[in-house]
Structure 1
């Protein structure tokens, strides 16, 4: 599997201590996450992404470059031996699967009327609809938002600033 090309420090927003903020710097754009979704669906070539998304060529080229630079996608020679490049998910990109599934399931639950037709995400081996993703506690029981909290990282001192006495 291809690997990341640039460390996270090379991306905008790196100074943020929030993992959500740093992640959105890379995949928070509409087209970026739709490209990742389509890569999970097996699309690999520039033209396939363009045709499926209906996105302008310049925007698609920019997002593919950003995703490649971030180590989400890797560009490789075409599998059929042609002169084209193909874009494949790296391990880092494949790790976005729970994000895509979670967003999809949220959309299914909140953005479609009851009975309204939409595509379904199923397990390829069984054809069964995937169960809802749910954070679980150490005891294996589902957690609600009120049972989860964010522990902030300690504030960093400015470089070259001495420690306060007692630290």
Structure 2
């Protein structure tokens, strides 16, 4: 097996968590996915302290995850921000499966194309096969140091 000790210095998971791994950042993204655009709406729906909201929005804008659009400031997801949807939905469904109360999940996602409640899974973009810990082998990539 190849030594992958470098993953601790050139780790994409760590870099992503540095940006969006904090609770409020993920909750801001969740709200943005479901249509919240304005500062006041974020503050109301999340009950987030305003200085924290300002700081997190600035970080997400500076990182290119959200765009701030004027004249009435709105925060819109960029392509990079939209690419985080799968990660947030996967976290949501994990929480539904392992942490929800006996009444079940608080939010369901209905798939517009087929009309069914969506269940996500991680799949290979080439063959469509499920990706799981026993079905992949980590190997050095182009950023290997």
Q: TM-score range by the shorter chain?
A: 0.7 to 0.9
- Equivalences, count: 136
Judged with a 3 Å threshold, the aligned counterparts in structure 2 of structure 1 residues 55 and 35 are, in CA distance, closer, same or farther, namely same
What is the TM-score of this pair, normalised by structure 1?
A: 0.72
Give me the whole-angstrom Cα distance separating, in 2, the residues matched to 1:113 and 1:47.
30
Candidates 116, 119, 122, aligned match of 1:131 = 119
Q: Give the drift of 1:117.
A: 4.9
Q: Rg: which structure is higher? A: 1
The answer as to whether partners of 2:64 and 2:81 remain within 8 angstroms in 1 is yes
Q: 8 Å contact 2:96–2:105 — kept in the other structure?
A: no
Which residue pairs with 2:72 in the alignment?
84
Q: Is the 8 A contact 1:137 1:143 kept in 2?
A: no
Q: Which runs of 5+ in 2 are unaligned?
A: 1-7
**Partner of residue 81 from structure 2, selected from 80, 93, 97:** 93
Q: Which runs of 5+ in 1 are unaligned?
A: 1-14, 78-82, 156-167
Equivalent in the alignment of 2:67: 74
1:145 Cα deviation from its structure 2 partner: 1.1
Cα distance, 1:76 vs structure 2:
0.4
Secondary structure, counterpart of 2:14 in structure 1? helix
Give the TM-score normalised by the residue count of structure 2.
0.82
Structure number with higher helix proportion: 2
